[in-house]
Structure 1
Amino acid sequence: MPKARIAVIGMAGKWSTEILADALEARSGYRQIIHPNRLHLDIPNQQLIADDLNLCELDGLIIKKIGQDSGSLALQRLELLRVAEAQGVRIFSSPHALLRLLDRLTCTVTLQTAGLPLPPTCVTESLEEALACIARWGEVILKPLFSTKARGMLLLSQAQSEAALRLELKKFQSRNPMLYVQKRLQLPGEDLGLVFLQGRYLGAYARIAGANTWNTTIHSGGHYAKRDLPQEVIDIAERAQAAFNLDFATVDIALTSEGPVIFEVSTLGGFKGAQSGIGLDIAGLYAESALSSLMGPG
C-alpha cells in the first residue's frame, strides 16, 4: 500500500518547516512545501491550486506557518484551506481550530468561557478605559490582536505622565483600533510552554528572559530549559488546548504568586522549545502521528 502524501504549509528555508518536511519524507517518501501565498482557489472546478498542484488530491496537509505576520490575510488563507478540507483532505490542525487561535481576542474569549485562569485583561475601544486600567494596575502591556513573539507589544506605566500615555495609546490605537490591555504580571524571570500532541502531554519547557528585557521570548534574547511541573498545572494546560481541538499545541503559562495563568494557546510554534528545551524530536513525532492517523499503525 502506498504511503500517504502529506504536504507542509509553510516557509521554505525556515527551520521548523524544513525539519517537518524532512520528517515526512523520511517516513513516507513524499516531500512538498507549499508557501501559503501560493494558494489559488478555482471555484468552477472546485480546486485549490499551488504551483500546479491540486491540494484537494493530497491525503493531508500540516499547517506549520500561515504567513510571516498574523492578520486578516492569514485568516483568508485559512478559509482557502477549508476548501481542501471539505473535499476530504485531512488538515493538521483544522483551519476551523486555527481561526480561533490567530486572533488574540478570540483565543482569550474561548479560554475565558472555558473557566481557565487568565491575567487581568481589559479589551476596549475607549482610550479613557485604557487609562483607567493603567491607573488601577500600575503597569500594563498593550497587545495587538494579531502578532507573535511579542512583536508590536507595548509596555506602559502609570509613572509616565498622562499626556505621554495618551500619546502612546493614540499611536497604538491608530494601528490597533481595539485595545487589548493586560496587567503586567511579576513573573519569576520565565514563562512556560507545555507541549501536546493529539491531546497527549509530552513535556514542558521554560523561556527564560534575557538581560534588560520585560518579555521572555527567544526573539528578545531568552533561552530554553526543561521544566518538570506539578499535575495541577498540566491539568490546566490540558483543558486549555482541549478547548480548541488541536492536533499539536503549545500552551503558554506563567506561574505567579496567585497561581498559574494562561497567556495563549498556539499550534504554529513550539518546535524549537520542544527540541531545545525538552529534547523532543517534535517534527518526527508529529509526522508519525499524522501518517498513522491516515494510514493506520505500521
Structure 2
Amino acid sequence: MASPASPCGLTVAIMTDEIGWHTRQLQAALQARACLGRCVDLADCRIDTTAAWHGLVIPGFGRELPDAVLVRGIAGGTFEQVTKRLGVLHALRELGVPVYNDARAIERSVDKSMTSLLLHAAGIPTPPTWATESIAQAQRIAIREGAAGHALVLKPLFGSQGKGLRLVGDVEGVHYPLPDIGAAYGGLAYLQRFVPASTAPGFDWRVLVIGGRSVTAMRRVSEHWIHNVAQGARCEPADLSPELARLAEDAAQALGMDYAGVDLMPSAPRPGARARPGHGIQVIEVNGAAAWQGLQRVTGFNIARALVDDLIDRRLMLAGGDAHSKTPRRA
C-alpha cells in the first residue's frame, strides 16, 4: 500500500540536505496539485532488509515508499557516504518509484569530467577538457595549450557555485601557474579551455530545461570572469533564441536528465576558422540539481510549479502512475 498522503494526491519525497526557499516553493507547488511534499535528507535514509519488503527506510514513510522522489540536493561526504546516498536513489528507481532526476543523471552531471565527455560524444559544442591524476601531465597540457594561445580553468570535479575555480596560463598579461592539485582538488586536475568574455562586462546564459524543453533563460553578468550568482553576478532576463534552446535541450538529453540548469557561453570562432551552426555558443556545465532563485526573479511563471507539473503529468504517467488515483505497491 502506498504511504499516507494528502487526501486527494500523492506523497512526494523532496530529497534535500537544506530546507529553505527552494523546498518551500516545491512544497507549495505540490500542495497546489493536492499532493504532499516531505523533505528528506538522503543522509538519514538507510538500507535495512529487515524493516520492510523493499529493504529501505525513508524517514517519514514508515514501511512504505514515496509515490515519487524529487531530488533537490545531496550532501557531500566520504566516498562511502555518497555511494550509499546514491544507492538509495538507485534502489528507489529499481523499486518502481519515479526519481526526478534519477541517480544516473545526478552522477553524470555532478562529475564534471563525465559531463564534458558525454557532451563531446554527442557532438555538442563544449570547450576542450582534460581530467588527469598526473601533475606532470597536467603541466604538459597547460604548456601545450599556452603555446597555442589558450588559458585553462582548473575546476573541482564535484564543485558548485563557482567555488574553487582557478585560471591557469596567461590572461590579460598575467600568468597564473598551475596550483597544487592535492587536497583542494582531490589529486585530480580537471582542466577546461578558458573561454574569454566576448563583451564587457562578460556574461553567460543559464537555461532551464524541463521535460526535454527549454522553458526560460537568464544572462548572468559580471565584471569577473566567473559568472555564478553566488560569486556576485547579476541576473538579467534573456530571450530564448532557437539556437540557445536547442543546445540546452541537446545537453540535457545527452545526460538523460528530467530537468537541468545548462550553462552556456558565447564564443568567437578562431581567426580563419569556418563558422558553423552552434559554434558561437558553447555548453560549459549541466547542473542536475540546479538552484533557480535568481532565475525566478527574471521569469514570469512559477518555476517550482513547472517542475512539479512535469513530474506529475509526464514522469508519473511514463512510469504508469496517476496523479489522481494511486496504484498500490506490494505491502
TM-score tier, shorter chain, comes to 0.7 to 0.9
Distance 2:292 2:80 in 1: 25
Q: Secondary structure at the match of 1:62?
A: strand
Tell me the distance in 1 between the aligned counterparts of 2:245 and 2:78: 28
Identify the residue that residue 276 of structure 1 maps to in structure 2.
297
The 1:185–1:172 alpha-carbon spacing in structure 2 relative to 1, beyond 3 Å, is farther
Greater C-alpha Rg? 2
Tell me the TM-score normalized by structure 2. Answer: 0.79
Q: Deviations over 1:100-134 (max 9, x none)?
A: 11111111111111111111322222323322333
- Distance in 2 between residues matched to 1:290 and 1:101, nearest whole Å: 19
**1:150, 1:217 within 8 Å by CA — same for their partners in 2?**
yes
Residues 1:179 and 2:189 aligned together: yes
Matches within 5 A, 1:3-152: 3-44=9-50, 45=52, 46-54=54-62, 56-67=64-75, 73-135=81-143, 136-137=145-146, 138-152=150-164
Q: How far is the alpha carbon of 1:72 from its aligned partner? A: 6.5
Q: Would the alpha carbon gap of residues 84 and 55 (structure 1) be closer, same or farther in structure 2, given more than 3 Å must change?
A: farther
Of 178, 195, 217, the residue aligned with 2:208 is 195
- Which one is further off, 233-242 or 72-81? 72-81
Counterpart of 2:250 in 1: which secondary structure? helix
Residue 75 of structure 1 deviates from its aligned partner by 4.5
- Residue identity over aligned pairs, in percent, reads 23
When the two chains are superposed, the root-mean-square deviation of aligned CA atoms in Å is: 2.6
Given that 1:193 and 1:206 are in contact with CA atoms closer than 8 Å, whether structure 2 keeps it comes out as yes
What residue in structure 1 maps to residue 169 of structure 2? 157
Q: Any unmatched runs of 5+ in structure 1? A: none
CA distance in 1, matches of 2:243, 2:64: 42
Indicate which of 198, 222, 227 corresponds to 2:233: 222
Structure 2: which 5+ residue stretches go unaligned? 1-6, 270-279, 317-321, 326-331
Q: How many residues align?
A: 292
Checking the alignment, whether the CA contact within 8 Å between 1:204 and 1:228 is kept in structure 2 is yes
More helix per residue: 1
Cα contact 1:70–1:147 (8 A) shared by 2:
no
Distance 1:24 1:239, change over 3 A: same
Q: Deviations over 1:36-72 (max 9, x none)?
A: 2111111344332233524852210100111257976
Match of 2:313 in 1: 292
| Cα contact 2:182–2:188 (8 A) shared by 1 | no
Segment drifting more, 260-269 vs 76-85: 76-85
Matched residue of 1:99: which SS?
Answer: helix
